Amino acid sequence: MSRIVRTRRGRALAPAQAIVLGFGLTLVIGTALLLLPLSTAPGSRTTVVDALFTATSAVSVTGLVVVDTGSHWSGFGLAVILLLIQLGGLGIMVVATLVGIALARRLSMRARMATVVETKTAVAPNVRRIVGGIFVTSISIEAVVALILFIRILTGYGYGVGEAAWFSVFHAVSAFNNAGFALQADSMMGFASDGWLLLPMCAAIIIGGIGFPVLRELRREIRHPLHWSMNTRIVLAATAALLALGTIAVTVMEWSNPATLGSADPGTRILGGFFHAVQTRTAGFNSVDIGAMHDETWLVTDILMFIGGGPAGTAGGIKVTTFAVLFFILWTELRGGTAVNIFGKRLARGVHRQAISVVLLAIAAIVVVTLAILAMTDLDLDQVLFEVVSAFGTVGLSTGITSDLPEPARVLIVMLMFMGRLGPLTLGTALALKERRAAYELPKERPAIG
């Protein structure tokens, strides 16, 4: 891996540096394209910060916006945003897979074979086949969802063929890549009761969010669950559990809220609760007014956004695998166990440190940015925290304060979106590659805990 990217002097870039550099260059180019007069609709004006914010939101597949996507940008500008979404979502999957392959090559033969057994990934696979599989899978899912949306929009809403096609393609790509960009100012609120439209989008979001390694393994071992790796089992189990718990929590808490679900029929309320739970997987569409939700619903949403989706996919957050690892560590401690066992396998101790490091750094970033924005504005803590967690988790849900933030606060959100998209991946890679064996050990001593 150290020979994949080299600087001008011939010094190799580390995998994490190559990832940051690639996404950084994409961000710069995207910002420049959005600043072109051709990208802005007549009568609108784009500032550097607005272009940077939108480009970052698209590349990081977040979905937070400071201008109305459908009316502010021209057709060319929307095409640029769609391309950035595709590159951000598809690129992170490709990079994550390639880094995993290269990481195995950096390890000893024994460690490489362990990687093969644990991840069901070949040590020296055909890279073109891997990248090609990711590309074909992504495009195929997007095409199927776009076709379903096209038929529904064309037959149910009186759209013209061209308008229906553009609507379908844009929202299918945005959904699969967990981006949350919508052509309507109110996102999907105009389709809140239409399950034929919302459920295919939910399916795309969930599939994109569980990650390509899981999709690849399911395609090969769908009939043999006992052969699934620990990663696949954790992702599927945690995803199902969080979706179920999120749906129940949101539906119950908003059931009688007339500003959100309370004014709809029971079926639409359940659909709305499920749709919102899916969006917290880092998608960011909304079929109800987020700003009108109860404070307790915001808190539940914060937790789900912080956790995010599966690794090496289009979702953000700390990842469900990290959350599951911490849960099983806690469960083992409460039971007085000595080893953390998950689905019949013992968890490597190095993973404990990585999971704790990712979570602590994520919390630190969220706290720092939240405090900074609170100092800059007169906004309430719950609104600012919601916005910050949404940015870190690359979700895109907002209580409606994004466009009201001052430019320094927007820049902080930009930095957080970029960090949220790349942080967990680059940190995990760095921790794995920098592991060193000490030549000696210091005497042990236990501080008082609790």
Taking only the tens of pLDDT, the chain with its 450 residues reads 334 445 445 455 555 666 677 788 889 999 999 999 999 999 889 999 999 999 999 998 899 999 999 999 999 999 999 999 988 887 655 655 555 555 545 544 444 443 333 333 444 455 567 667 778 888 999 999 999 999 999 999 989 999 999 999 999 999 999 998 999 999 999 999 999 999 999 999 999 888 878 888 888 888 888 888 888 899 999 999 999 999 999 999 999 999 999 999 999 999 999 999 999 988 889 999 999 999 999 999 999 999 998 887 778 889 999 999 999 999 998 988 888 888 888 888 888 888 888 898 899 999 999 999 999 999 999 999 999 999 999 999 999 999 899 999 999 999 999 888 876 556 555 555 555 566 777 787 778 777
DSSP letter for 13, please: P
Instruction: Give residue 171's pLDDT.
Output: 95
Residue with tokens 């199902």: 240
**393: its two tokens:** 């988790």
Q: What angle do CA 214, 323, 390 make, to 5 degrees?
A: 90
Q: Are 37 and 74 in contact (CB under 8 A)?
A: no
Would you state the pLDDT for residue 441?
78
- The reported pTM is 0.86
Q: Coil, helix or strand for 443?
A: coil
pLDDT at 442: 79
In contact, 133 and 216? CB cutoff 8 Å: yes
Structure token digits, residue 434: 């920098």
Q: Which residues fall within 8 angstroms of residue 68, CB to CB, at 6 or more apart?
A: 185
Give the H/E segment covering residue 295.
helix 295-307
Q: Is the dihedral of CA 38, 400, 279, 314 positive or negative?
A: positive
Closest by Cα among 179, 124, 190, 125 to 153: 190
Q: How much is the pLDDT for 407?
A: 93
* pLDDT given for residue 109 in this prediction: 44
3-state secondary structure of 154: helix
